[in-house]
Copies of this chain bind each other. A is one copy, B any other.
Amino acid sequence: MGSVGHVTPQQMHFAQPLPLRSGAQLADYTLVYETYGTLNAERSNAVLVCHALNASHHVAGSYEGQPRSEGWWDNLVGPGKPLDTERFFVVGVNNPGSCFGSTGPMSANPTTGRPYGADFPVVTVEDWVDAQARLLDRLGIAQLAAVIGGSLGGMQALSWTLQYPGRVRHCLAIATAPNLSAQNIAFNEVARRAIVTDPDFHGGHYYAHGVVPKRGLRVARMIGHITYLSDDSMEQKFGRALRDAELGYTTQDIEFQIESYLRHQGEKFSEYFDANTYLLITRALDYFDPARAHGGDLARAFAPALAKFLVVSFTTDWRFSPARSREIVKALVDNRHDVTYAEIAAPHGHDAFLLDDARYHAVLRAYLDNVAAEAAAVRA
């Protein structure tokens, strides 16, 4: 099993405005994307990878001359890997509103010439899927062999089957949920308040002030990290281990290793992630709720889907617990849709979907083998 090697991001410009669920529109925008593998002659082997909060179009491979620049799902995507680039044409695309290259809050607002900042329109999972569909149009991909994503990426994968039922043969929805719980929203809201009330936020127009609301971003990331890890894995990894041999009896300095770890994660994040993007993406999470238009009836929401589904959850994921995945499975079964469900016993909490767990990858490999065989049959 190898790497896709060195990769180069590509750009696609869209002059036609993207209408958004909020009623606003995105006037003129660029999407950054990467592809791995080769699109077959029948154009039947394309797989779209949707990214979650903190990731991007850079799914696999690395950038020449940049050590440690592996894509965020490099353990899954490559020649001989479960999402095998010798069989599939894999597309990773950065969603609008992000801070990794596609048009977002740091981009110039065409009406002012200055960065959008807080004026970037609110985007939803559905809007992202629309943008991705337009990109696929331009790439000449009428139908996906599969769409795959974890967490917020899983929400996009699910939404594909409802917005473009005829364009998706398989949906792989991993460590996700049919909507956020009150507790999920609560964590997002605390993170947003930490950012928005940071005096360096300047109402979202901090670029003009030459500052970044780092304090808020740090706190937001620390909260996020707690929810990504399981209680058990935190206990295993850090427990009550002290940084120094003896207690220092201090309220502001680090005593415990877990504090050191969280501060480090917060610091790193505040150095590269855009605060306005954080607000937009957590809001997209909050808003996702396909059952809402159907009086809360998730089964009715999934009625139009034509895809086959693989749903995967992890036992120690308390952010999007297996119970939330089972809600999805039930709604699919109620519609007699074809669904495979795997609940993976893994200790790593929500983060498990990014890790190379043998049982998890075996499930994906087996499922994707069938998807590849199907795609080849279309070809034959």
Contact = CB atoms under 8 A, between A and B. Distances in A.
A217 to B, nearest CB: 11
A250 interface: yes
A283 to B, nearest CB: 5
Contacts of A259: 185-186, 189
B279 A234 contact: no
A231 B197 CA distance: 26
A198 interface: yes
Given A122-B249, A226-B187, A287-B247, A234 B182 contact: yes
B186 A226 contact: yes
A328 to B, nearest CB: 16
Contacts of A24: 249
Contacts of A249: 21-24, 121-122, 287
Given A186-B234, A193-B263, A289 B218 contact: no
A262 B190 contact: yes
A222 B193 contact: yes
Contacts of A247: 22, 287
A196 B251 CA distance: 9
B185 A240 contact: yes
Interface string A156-186: 0000000000000000000000011111011
Most buried by B among A23, A24, A262: A262
A189 B23 CA distance: 40
Nearest to A225: B186
Given A251-B283, A263-B193, A286-B256, A239 B23 contact: no
Residue of A198, A231, A240, A250 contacting most chain B CB atoms (<10 Å): A240
A239 B21 contact: no
A286 B144 CA distance: 51
Contacts of A238: 182
23 contacts: A24-B249, A122-B251, A179-B240, A180-B240, A181-B231, A182-B256, A185-B258, A185-B259, A186-B259, A189-B256, A189-B262, A190-B223, A192-B252, A193-B263, A193-B266, A194-B194, A198-B215, A199-B199, A204-B252, A219-B219, A240-B289, A247-B287, A250-B283
Given A182-B234, A251-B276, 4 more contacts: A181-B235, A186-B225, A193-B266, A204-B252
